[in-house]
Amino acid sequence: MKNKALIVGIYEKTTNNLIVKVLKNAKSTSLLNFARSHISSKCHVYTDDWKGYCDFKLVFPKHKTVNHQDSYVSKTGVNTNQIESVWKHIRRTFKTHIKVAKHHVYLYAKEAAYKFNKIPSFEIVMLCLI
C-alpha cells in the first residue's frame, strides 16, 4: 500500500448520495471516525465482514455484514452492491487519466463523487427525452 491511497465511501441508499474521503490508514478507529461523522447511530449500516469494521456494532447497533467469500448477498438480504457500483464508477474515472499522483487522489475521488451525485442517471435522462 506504500504507493496507493485508501479511499473510503458512504453511499446513502434513499437519496443516492455519495461521500468519499481519502484516509491515511485502514485502522478500525479511522474508519469508525469517518463513519461516525457522516452516519447517524440510528441508521442501518451495511459493510462486508472485513476486520476493520469490527467496532461498528458498538456505535451502529443496526450494523450488518455480508461475507463476500460466501455470496454477494447474505442470508438476511444484506448486500453492498450499491457501494461496489460506486467503486466501479470511480475506477472508470481514474482510468481516464494517464497518471494519478497520490497527493491528488482526494481531488479525483471528490470529482467522481460530485459526478455521481449531480449527473442524472441514464434512466432519468431517457425518461426526460421521451
Ordered DSSP codes for 64-124: EEE-TTT-SB-TTS-B-HHHHHHHHHHHHHHHTSS---GGGHHHHHHHHHHHHHHSPPHHH
Contact 53, 31 (CB under 8 A): yes
Tell me, what CATH number does 83's domain have? 3.30.420.10
DSSP 128: H
CA 58 to CA 56: how far, in whole Å? Answer: 5
Domain that holds residue 50: 6-129
Q: What's this model's pTM, rounded to 2 decimal places?
A: 0.78
Question: What's the domain count of the chain?
Answer: 1
Residue 130 scores a pLDDT above 60: no
pLDDT of residue 99: 80
CA 46 to CA 90: how far, in whole Å? Answer: 20
- For the chain, percent of residues with pLDDT exceeding 70: 90
Convert the pLDDT of each residue in 100-120 to its tens digit. Answer: 888 888 888 888 888 888 876
In a domain, 74, yes or no: yes
In a domain, 1, yes or no: no
